[in-house]
Amino acid sequence: MNRIISISFSILFLTVSQSAQAVERSSASPEILSLEGSLSLAYEGNPRLLEAREELEAQKGRHIRAEALPNPEIEFGISGLKKSRESEESEEEKRNPRLGSYSITQPLDPLGTRFLRGRIASDEIGIAESTIDLIWGEVRQEVISLYSTIQAQDKALRIAKENLDTTRQFFTSVDSRFQSGNALKSDLLRARIEVSRKENDYILREKELKLSNGRFNLSLGRPYDYPFELADGLEAVALEAHYEELLKKALKDRADLRIEEKRLSIEKKSHLSSVLRFIFPSMAVTYERTTEDFENDSAILLGASYPLWDLNFGEMKETKAAAEKQKKHLEALKRQVGLEVYEAILNAEVAYRQVILQKKALDEANELLRQVTLSYEEGKVPFIGFLENLKTINETRLSFLDAVTESKEKNAELERMVQATPIPGGAK
């Protein structure tokens, strides 16, 4: 019973503690984050990067183990366990255990294979390091995408609030005109419906912004409800890309290509190791010491193991095929990189052109808002026409935000495709 009470109090304490921390975070002043600052936090605290760094440390440990000699084997021989009489006159029997012999055996790999095993482990370290670069490129793209998404959603929320306030004022105006007999009841009902729609739109956009904030915090390695505000503005940047230059950079710097090149190197070393196992046997050196009553001697024994029955042909054939397979995979990947870079350039260029078009549409929408508001107040535009124009203006504003966000995301995707993902300044 006491144990149950103790566990209950522990759970209650943890719950209260977590709630208090959440309240403290929500009441704290929001942190002002620039994009560069966000990338620095992500580089240091993103969970995927932390796991990749631990895997690198584990691989370094495997490298140490791979370069070491095989562990020696020690054997001890205990004699004198059989009962014997001390003298012919005595009937008493006794045991006299003692160290009769011991041996130390040091296994030795075929000549050159231990060196290759160490080089393979070094290549594995290179793969782990390139994996960190690969993950960082993905995390960087994710952070940039979320940063611009939050900026766009924040502006969309403000637009939704403005639309809601405008619609409420519009409803008040229609209601006044209805009370004075200058508007139909259907107009009043339609205005009330529009207010409900705008309230629903505001609620949904507020939820989307909160979820994006939570995802952004998790990408930075922080609690989902950590308060922050974004400092940079949402602006599209014109892209100056030359395919040949970017492709050359991608083939040189892409982390996935470096990984596949390391794997090809590993397969080639594995094949060479199998050839050495065919040429040289596995050896073992044993030192043996015997200290029996009738024998007191030392000996050095040499042993060898050789793949006599298949001459290691099976392993050699397998490793050679694996190396050829990896070589063809690498060649295909290089061709695929060319297409990916080309597609990323096209996507970035089209996205920026859409921003230009949407900016022109936004300017026209702002002018339309001024004109249609004036016309409705003067009675030149009917009620339904006014609502339809407001809907078009709202869609144009949101389309512009979507276009800018898309442009930022496509630029980040292009940077990842050519591995233009530098480590943030000040990061370790």
Task: Say if CB 39 and CB 94 are below 8 A apart.
Answer: no
Whether 331 contacts 251, CB under 8 Å: no
pLDDT at 85: 56
Residue-level pLDDT at 87: 53
Confidence class for position 174, pLDDT limits 50, 70, 90: confident
Asked whether residue 92 carries a pLDDT value surpassing 50, the answer given is yes
How far is the C-alpha of 392 from the C-alpha of 400, rounded, in Å? Answer: 12
- In whole angstroms, give the CA distance from residue 166 to residue 168: 5
335 three-state secondary structure: helix
Question: What is the percentage of the chain residues whose pLDDT exceeds 70?
Answer: 88
pLDDT at position 236 is 84
Please tell me what DSSP assigns to residue 110: S
pLDDT for position 82: 66
* pLDDT value of position 3: 52
Residue type present at position 112:
G
99 has a pLDDT exceeding 80: no
Rounded to an integer, the average pLDDT of 118-130 is: 96
Query: pLDDT at position 80, please?
Result: 66
Mean pLDDT of the chain: 87
CB–CB of 419/249 below 8 Å? yes
Residue 308 has pLDDT above 90, yes or no: no
Residue 225 near residue 25 (C-beta atoms within 8 A): yes
Strand bridging mode 282-292 / 98-108: antiparallel
149-to-144, 209, 215 alpha-carbon distances in Å: 8, 9, 11
Instruction: Examine the pLDDT at 86 and tell me if it is beyond 70.
Output: no
Helices (H), 46-108: 47-67
**Strand, helix or coil at 395?**
helix
Question: Structure tokens of 337?
Answer: 């990189």
Most confidently predicted of 93-107, 139-153, 184-198, 222-236 = 139-153
The residue with greater pLDDT, 169 or 325, is 325
Cβ atoms of residues 215 and 146 within 8 Å:
yes
Q: Quick one: pLDDT band at residue 14, thresholds 50, 70, 90?
A: very low
Reduced to 3 states (helix: H, G, I; strand: E, B; else coil), residue 101 is strand
**Whether the predicted pLDDT of 141 surpasses 50:** yes
Domains of the chain by start residue, with CATH: 29-77+99-417 (1.20.1600.10)
147-177 exposure pattern, b = at least 16 Cβ within 10 A, e = fewer: bbbbbbbbbbbebbeebbebbeebbeebeeb
Least confident of 21-25, 331-335, 349-353: 21-25
103: alpha, beta or left? (left if phi > 0; alpha if psi -120 to 50): beta
Higher pLDDT, 20 or 201: 201
Beta carbons of 23 and 224 less than 8 angstroms apart: no
Q: How far apart are CA 110 and CA 116, in angstroms?
A: 11
At 239 the pLDDT is: 76
Give the C-alpha separation, 96 to 89, whole Å.
18
